[in-house]
Amino acid sequence: LRRAAALGQQRLLLRFEAVDYQCEVWLNGGHLGNHKGGYTPFAFDASHLIHRTGTNTLVVRVRDPMEGTQIRGKQSPVAEGIFYTRVSGIWQTVWLEAVPTVAHIDELTITADLHRILVNASVAVGQPALSKAGELVLELKAQ
């Protein structure tokens, strides 16, 4: 995190490709967020906590409890009959990404209702671009 000053005034996202299983992240003593799951990517906006000059301190706490109803896979306590290394903790790439401070889609979820022949789209927008009337303008086109 020493090169944050070179990234200018862009938003800075701390991205995790995969962490198994419960993850909690702090930057410079401030809580960035939590994530639960072993195989899905996630990100936290670190812009408000990162020091653009000087040193930054990143703390990542990962728990992979073996009890309960958690999905099991490569973290099995008894690695019998498998031909791969057991995995737990941070097991994919972690990086800091500079992104523009313009409107963007944070999350897009599309679900199909086959019985009614309908598609539902849920869009989570970050840094919304407001129209002159102060409304969020989102245009969807079907082709």
CA dihedral 20→24→25→29, nearest 10 degrees, is: -150
- As to burial, measured by CB atoms within 10 angstroms (0-12 exposed, 13-18 middle, 19+ buried), residue 67 is exposed
Predicted confidence band at 12 (pLDDT cuts at 50, 70, 90)? confident
- pLDDT of residue 30 exceeding 80, the answer is yes
- Give the pTM: 0.65
**DSSP symbols for 55-109:** ---EEEEEE--SSSSPPPSTT-SS--S--S----EE-S-EEEEEE-SS-EEEEEE
Of residues 94 and 104, the one with the higher pLDDT is 94
Of residues 9 and 127, the one with the higher pLDDT is 9
Mean pLDDT over 17-33 rounds to 92
| DSSP tag of 116 | T
- pLDDT of residue 120 exceeding 70, the answer is yes
Mean pLDDT over 83-100 rounds to 78
Predicted confidence band at 10 (pLDDT cuts at 50, 70, 90)? confident
The per-residue pLDDT of the chain, averaged, comes to 77
Task: Report the alpha-carbon distance of residue 49 to residue 27 in Å, rounded.
Answer: 6
What pLDDT digit, counting tens, does each position of 44-75 carry? 999 889 988 888 999 999 988 766 665 555 55
Taking phi over 0 as left and psi of -120 to 50 as alpha, with beta for the rest, 83 belongs to alpha
Joined tokens for residue 45: 């906006």
